[in-house]
Each structure stands twice: as C-alpha cells, then as structure tokens.
C-alpha cells in the first residue's frame, strides 16, 4: 500500500530536499499520482526523522535544512518496492461525478466535461514540459521519466474520454424532452 511515507522517502532518496522542495514536487510532478498538503508533509517528515529513516543536513542557503535518506530509509524503501504489492485502487472524482451527470441538464453536463477536457489538456502540456527538462544521465530522472510517461498516457486517455463524453452528452435529451416522451 502506498503511503505518504513512501512518497517522501522516494523523493528524498533521489536527492536531499527540504519540506518546501517536497511541497513543490507535490504541486508539480507528483500531482497526478499523489497529493499531500504541507500539514501532512511536515509531521510525516518529523516521524521519519524520529524513526531514523531520514536526517536533516547542515543548514544551507536561506536557512534551508534539507533532509537526506539514511541507510535504514533506503532499506525500507527497497523493501516496499520489492516485497509489497502495489495498491491498484484509484480515486478519480471526475469519473465519480460522471456517474451522477444524469441529474443535471445536458448543457450543464457538457460544461463540466468541457472544463475537465481543458484541465487535462493543460496538465498534459505541463507534463510534457517536465519530461523535456529531465536529465536522463541521472538515475532518478530516468525513473521519473517512467512515472511522467504514465501520467502523460493517463492524461491522453482522459482527454480522449472527455472528448467522447462531450459528443455523447450532446445526444442526450433535455429535461423537457425526457418528460414529454
């Protein structure tokens, strides 16, 4: 089962990061995979440090104190990667809402789907930029490419679905047409 704990260890294993750096990653690259708020990140960083899985480095520029992974942290991360099956459950509020679109007028459903289409197109553009900025000479960036490509393909699938859904909803009868039938 994936947890915030493993997401943090993964990020810190790639390179030492401060809590702020980690927040930036969750708002950027990891947004399509895992979301965490600062109110979740900082307490978990403290727990990981207390357990000896990460430690703070010396203070750097602007008072920044990045965390680095310890050997115990790497061992736990490797154990998770090799011995724990992935949790394939998925939460997707867009898809959940699509199950309820019968409750609104077709034009309202279309507006929702059009907003989703634009959102996924925007995220796809951002993911492609992130991919272009990778340094494939770095092991962590080579692995990041795998995750980014999964995100790109997922976004492409959501775009295709939203385009199809918009066309499908355009053929739905309006509320008046439904009651007169």
- CA–CA separation, 124 and 153 (whole Å): 9
Residue 60's pLDDT is 72
Tell me what pLDDT residue 91 has: 79
Q: Examine the pLDDT at 181 and tell me if it is beyond 60.
A: no
% of residues, the chain, pLDDT over 90: 57
Q: Would the pLDDT of 29 be above 90?
A: no
pTM over 0.85: no
Q: How far apart are CA 14 and CA 138, in angstroms?
A: 9
Mean pLDDT of 146-159: 94
- Enumerate the domain spans of the chain: 4-83, 93-180
Q: How confident is the model at residue 178 (pLDDT cuts 50, 70, 90)?
A: low
Confidence category of residue 179, pLDDT binned at 50, 70, 90: low
Strand stretches in 16-163, DSSP E: 54-56, 67-69
- The C-alpha atoms of residue 136 and residue 124 are separated, in whole angstroms, by 20
The full length of the chain comes to 181
Q: What is the pLDDT of residues 82-134, one digit of tens each?
A: 998 888 877 789 999 999 999 999 999 999 999 999 999 999 998 899 899 89
Average pLDDT, the chain: 89
Query: With respect to CATH, is domain 4-83 assigned 1.10.10.10?
Result: yes
Average pLDDT over residues 52-65: 85
pLDDT band with cut points at 50, 70 and 90 for residue 135: very high
Which DSSP string corresponds to 53-80? Answer: SEEE----GGG---EEE-HHHHHHHHHH
3-class secondary structure, 55: strand
Read off the tokens for 139: 């092991």
Confidence of residue 66 (pLDDT cuts 50, 70, 90): very high
């Amino acid at each position: 089962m994936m947890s915030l704990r493993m997401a943090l260890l993964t990020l810190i294993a790639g390179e030492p990061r401060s809590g702020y750096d980690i927040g930036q990653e969750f708002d950027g690259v990891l947004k399509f995979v895992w979301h965490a708020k600062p109110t979740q990140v900082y307490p978990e960083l403290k727990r990981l440090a207390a357990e000896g899985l990460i430690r703070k480095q010396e203070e750097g520029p602007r008072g920044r104190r990045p965390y680095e992974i310890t050997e115990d942290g790497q061992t736990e991360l490797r154990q998770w990667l090799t011995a724990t099956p992935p949790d394939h459950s998925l939460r997707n509020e867009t898809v959940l809402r699509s199950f309820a679109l019968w409750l609104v007028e077709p034009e309202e459903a279309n507006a929702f789907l059009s907003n989703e289409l634009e959102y996924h197109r925007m995220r796809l553009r951002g993911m492609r930029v992130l991919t272009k900025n990778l340094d494939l000479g770095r092991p962590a960036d080579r692995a990041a490419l795998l995750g980014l490509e999964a995100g790109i393909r997922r976004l492409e699938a959501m775009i295709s679905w939203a385009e199809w859904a918009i066309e499908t909803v355009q053929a739905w009868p309006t509320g008046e047409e439904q009651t007169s039938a």
